[in-house]
Amino acid sequence: MQTDDATAPSVRDLNRGCYDSPHSGVGMEFDPLELANPGRRVVLHECGFLRSLDWWMFPNTVSPFWRLYYNSVAGHQVVFPGHTVALEPGHVVLIPEGNSFDSRGDTPVNHFWLTFSLCFAVRRPGPIVVPADREAIAEIGRISAAFDGIGRGDRLLAYHGSQALLHRLVVEIREHLWPGERSIALARAVHEMRRRFAEPIHIPDIAAYAGLSQRSLSDHFQKEYHCSPGHFLNKLRIGEAAGMLVRTSASLDTIAQATGFADRFYLSRVFKRMTGKTPASYRKQHARTPTEA
């Protein structure tokens, strides 16, 4: 296994796969979850580049986040039920949240990936293969050049380059994204959650505001966001809590109160479950590298 530092742990030792939490352990970490701010349509969780990845074996993956892969050298594959997509220099592969797949590769390749969320309801199609045009390849090259080690490098360049790449691709694949029929009631529920996430609101209140039963609200969320209403609300709250940990020196008690959690202990439990880190470790890691706006 080749790494950028002979004394560092191997990628295999560090890599958590980025499948339960939004961060893999071998990439640059940014926002851990979707944000409450409705102005942010694309939220970047992680950007990664490995110059000679020769072990990429993760079976039975169901990622709760969108994934983007690009390899400048052929040799690795993403295997879905019924078909296989090769990672090759001629195209970018996007995998929407909730798709089941295997990652396969044991030959050295330059491996680039992004983990992100789209903050609007979309269809959940299978993998989307997008031809890699000259501009996309050049952008990926600039982002990759920002790395000077495993998960290390110029965060500002990597962040803004990744956001630019994602916004270009979202426009390009928009025909794959939009649901055929949008739910006005669900839109009302989501708007109310984003507006009142800091309050001690309850899911029955949201359902009543949207004019739905709790069961119907849950069905709408499962269909369009692939999660329960409670999980969606916690994602908003934890996303905001993560931002406060980085942007401010507020105590956990203050952050819990500002993000709708009953107390710091409940905030800490949910934060660890959804991000893979404690609030303290997240703040320490990102203290000198605030989330880029």
Q: How confident is the model at residue 10 (pLDDT cuts 50, 70, 90)?
A: low
Residue environment code for 190-199, b if the CB has 16+ CB neighbours within 10 A, otherwise e: beebeebbee
Closest Cα to residue 241, out of 277, 202, 191?
A: 277
| pLDDT for res 122 | 74
Helix, strand, coil percent values for the chain (each to nearest 5): 40, 20, 40
What is the crossing angle of helices 229-247 and 264-275, to 10°? Answer: 100
Measured CA to CA, the distance from residue 273 to residue 270 in angstroms comes to 5
Average of pLDDT values for 24-43?
A: 80
Confidence tier at 166 by pLDDT (50, 70, 90): very high
d(CA 210, CA 193): 11
Q: Is the dihedral of CA 160, 272, 188, 178 positive or negative?
A: positive
The CA distance from 4 to 104, in Å, is 22
Highest mean pLDDT among 139-153, 170-184, 224-238: 139-153
- CATH superfamily entry for domain 11-176: Jelly Rolls (2.60.120.10)
Task: Tell me the per-residue pLDDT of 76-117, one tens digit each, with 9 for 90 and over.
Answer: 999 999 899 999 999 999 999 888 899 999 999 999 999 998
Task: Tell me how far apart the alpha carbons of residues 279 and 245 are, in angstroms, rounded to a whole number.
Answer: 7
Q: How far apart are alpha carbons 101 and 249 in whole angstroms?
A: 40
| Mean model confidence pLDDT for the chain | 86
Question: What's the pLDDT at 182?
Answer: 58
Residue spans per domain, the chain: 11-176, 184-286
Query: Do the Cβ atoms of 242 and 43 come closer than 8 Å?
Result: no
Q: Taking CA 161 as the corner, what is the angle to CA 290 and CA 43, rounded to the nearest 5 degrees?
A: 60
Tokens 């609030």 found at:
279
Class at the top of the CATH hierarchy for domain 184-286: mainly alpha
Model confidence, pTM: 0.78
